[in-house]
């Protein structure tokens, strides 16, 4: 049911340091669709613990399903299962259903715990839940470590025939096919169990990063009116884009200066994450950490390398030209970091309340059809509990979307009434509708959209929003501002993310070649890349090279390159939809339903 967004809420002025209790409840999400209470969460946790012995009992029994399975060939045609085979087939699908069912419940526990913690990272009980479900997930992986080695103990043709033997088995067909593809990197059951036991240790660097981010306090700054305000991760983006250069300079100087003061701690944490990635790659017999990461989605390393090479080749004709243009338009001698995010057309800058943003996004995405629009409208309405809109004390920075299987998605924002926040809204609801459509269309085993595709769903929405705003632009200044927004989208989603991707490749190579990732070494690698990407008209100030300590995505194991490939794909697809090409919008929505049911 979709109701009007409360206009009274439009008067709320977001404050990055507001206590969570001061944010009206109508702007906070409701997680009761996952678990009605902390007690209900505990019951779900106990339910998973209770299933572990039963899951372990499947060891040695899944392969029994291969007995009596007919493998088609030129000489043999398969009809009904032979006598005695049917019960073995049932064993195969029943065992996998129970195992994946446990993972489904664990995912729901994880989504709730992470969401609850992300809104206020100062609450010890919320942090404890994330730690406990992380540990339980490790136990679950340890218990089921036998599954892949046992299945791969079968003949591949037999295993494929087993997955194709009935309609109930068909949902595991791609899982089986992908498992066979990864066979050289699947270890024996004892080895898989040991790797599973490292789960908590491999999660530790990111957990430490979260704690470190909360403990680091930034100095206060003066805003455009000369008022003293708190500087936080949530509002850093707002003040680095201030129209007043002195505000931008002060913001960036204090933010990066503070990161530099804690750089040894950030470096030790990132170093641990990189070493964990390298260790897993070596254990699974991959030539590098990047090869191990990309192989999870069957993406060749050549794609990653070609992306970086293509961007490098065109830097003088693209980003270097833009930096020179921006410098000229701002009337400055050299361009600094604090000159990258402020509007080139400040007269067109506007404040956009959340209810206004909802109207803009709804209108922009209308080409995707009424069914998409109905779910979108329901999800963006705060009364339906999907979205946590405004920042507060203890809330992590940035934005994200998550979902437990066939439970409605949740969208995490730090909305500050800026136009950029409208694009973030469109982006995250691209993920939300992707979750919704995939979960409705796929069985759990095929419901995980690879990030390589998921970032198309998000950036596609940004492109349609931009097209819509350009169509409705009032006057030359507003249109120029929106065109510059398009250029900035490309700068930040292609060039900046490829810079990040190259940094990730470099720091993993550093460890793989026997080097060390000190704060100074990380900053040297990062600073050199920034200067290369932004060119001769750009000045790298002393603390700017510590920006790496601000980017949590470096803990996501070669994640960021997919923003760039996602936007490139999204531009191509959105252009066709915006032109009204027959059948393209419907085909795109069908694409959103595919999850990981195919490569």
Are 383 and 6 a contacting pair, CB within 8 Å? Answer: yes
Query: Minimal CA–CA distance to 443: which of 177, 109, 168, 54?
Result: 168
411 DSSP 8-state letter: E
DSSP string, 482-524: HHHHHHHHHIIIIIHHHHHHHHHHHHHHHHHTT----HHHHHH
Token pair of 369 as six digits = 């059809």
In the three-class reduction of DSSP (H, G, I as helix; E, B as strand; rest coil), residue 387 is classed as strand
536 Cβ contact partners less than 8 Å away, ≥ 6 residues apart: 320
Let me know if 308 is exposed, middle or buried by CB neighbors in 10 A (0-12, 13-18, 19+): middle
Cα separation, 243 vs 405, whole angstroms? 43
The angle formed by the CA atoms of residues 238, 240 and 242, to the nearest 5 degrees, is 70
Q: Catalytic: 224?
A: no
CB 108 within 8 A of CB 21: no
The C-alpha atoms of residue 458 and residue 450 are separated, in whole angstroms, by 13
Helix (H) or strand (E) holding 180: helix 173-181
The span from the CA of 247 to the CA of 226, in Å, is 9
C-alpha to C-alpha distance for 65 and 87, rounded to whole angstroms? 8
Catalytic option among 142, 150, 192, 428 = 428
508 touches 290 (CB < 8 A): yes
Chain centre distance of CA 332:
36
Output helix, strand, coil percentages for the chain, rounded to the nearest 5: 65, 0, 30
As a whole number of angstroms, the distance between CA 577 and CA 556 comes to: 32
Which residue's structure tokens are 């989605």? 297
Instruction: Say which residues have a Cβ less than 8 Å from residue 280's Cβ, sequence separation at least 6.
Output: 195, 198, 202, 289, 292
Three-state secondary structure of 324-354: HHHHHHHCCCCECHHHCCCCCCHHHCCCCCH
Q: Which residues are catalytic?
A: 428
């Amino acid at each position: 049911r979709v109701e009007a967004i409360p206009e009274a809420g439009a008067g709320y002025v977001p404050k990055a340091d507001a206590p969570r209790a001061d944010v009206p409840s109508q702007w906070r999400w409701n997680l009761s669709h996952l678990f009605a209470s902390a007690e209900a969460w505990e019951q779900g946790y106990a339910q998973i613990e209770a299933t572990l012995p039963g899951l372990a009992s499947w060891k040695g029994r899944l392969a029994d399903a291969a007995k009596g399975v007919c493998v088609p060939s030129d000489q043999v045609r398969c009809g009904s299962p032979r006598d005695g085979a049917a019960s073995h087939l049932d064993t195969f699908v029943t065992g996998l259903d129970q195992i994946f069912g446990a993972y489904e419940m664990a995912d729901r526990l994880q989504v709730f715990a992470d969401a609850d913690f992300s809104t206020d990272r100062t609450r010890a009980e919320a942090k404890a839940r994330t730690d406990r479900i992380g540990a339980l997930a490790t136990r679950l992986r340890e218990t089921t470590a036998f599954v892949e080695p046992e299945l791969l103990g079968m003949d591949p043709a037999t295993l494929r025939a087993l997955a194709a033997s009935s309609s109930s088995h068909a949902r595991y067909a791609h899982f089986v096919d992908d498992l066979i593809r990864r066979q050289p990197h699947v270890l024996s059951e004892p080895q898989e169990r040991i790797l599973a036991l490292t789960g908590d240790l491999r999660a530790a660097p990111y957990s430490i990063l979260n704690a470190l981010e909360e403990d680091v306090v930034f100095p206060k700054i003066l805003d455009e009116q000369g008022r003293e305000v708190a500087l936080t991760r949530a509002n850093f983006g707002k003040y680095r884009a201030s129209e007043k250069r002195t505000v931008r300079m002060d913001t960036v100087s204090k933010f990066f200066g503070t990161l530099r003061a804690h750089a040894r701690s950030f470096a030790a944490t990132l170093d641990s994450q990189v070493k964990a990635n390298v260790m897993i790659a070596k254990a699974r017999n991959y030539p590098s950490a990047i090869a191990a990461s990309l192989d999870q989605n069957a993406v060749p390393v050549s794609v990653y390398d070609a992306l970086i090479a293509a961007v490098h080749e065109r830097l003088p004709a693209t980003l270097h030209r833009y930096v020179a243009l921006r410098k000229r338009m701002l009337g400055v001698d050299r361009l600094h970091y604090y000159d990258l995010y402020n509007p080139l057309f400040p007269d067109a800058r506007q404040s956009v309340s959340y209810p206004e943003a909802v109207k803009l996004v709804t209108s922009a995405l209308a080409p995707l059809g009424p069914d998409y629009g109905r779910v979108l409208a329901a999800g963006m309405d705060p009364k339906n509990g999907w979205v946590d809109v405004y920042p507060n004390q203890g809330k992590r920075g940035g934005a994200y979307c998550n979902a437990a299987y066939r439970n409605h998605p949740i969208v995490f924002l730090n909305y500050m009434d800026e136009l950029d926040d409208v694009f973030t809204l469109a982006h995250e609801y691209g993920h939300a509708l992707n979750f919704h459509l995939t979960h409705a269309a796929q069985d759990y085993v095929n419901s995980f959209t690879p990030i390589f595709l998921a970032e198309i769903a998000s950036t596609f929405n940004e492109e349609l929003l931009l097209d819509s705003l350009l169509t409705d632009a009032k006057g030359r200044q507003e249109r120029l501002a929106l065109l510059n927004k398009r250029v900035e989208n490309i700068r930040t989603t292609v060039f900046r993310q490829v810079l990040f991707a190259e940094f990730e490749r470099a720091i993993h190579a550093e460890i793989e070649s026997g080097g060390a990732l000190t704060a100074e070494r990380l900053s040297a690698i990062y600073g050199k890349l920034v200067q290369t990407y932004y060119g001769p008209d750009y000045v790298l100030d002393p603390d700017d090279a510590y920006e790496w300590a601000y980017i949590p995505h470096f803990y996501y194991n070669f994640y960021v390159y997919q923003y760039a490939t996602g936007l490139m794909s999204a531009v191509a697809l959105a252009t066709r939809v915006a032109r009204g090409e027959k059948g393209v919008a419907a085909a795109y929505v069908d694409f959103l339903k595919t999850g990981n049911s195919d490569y």
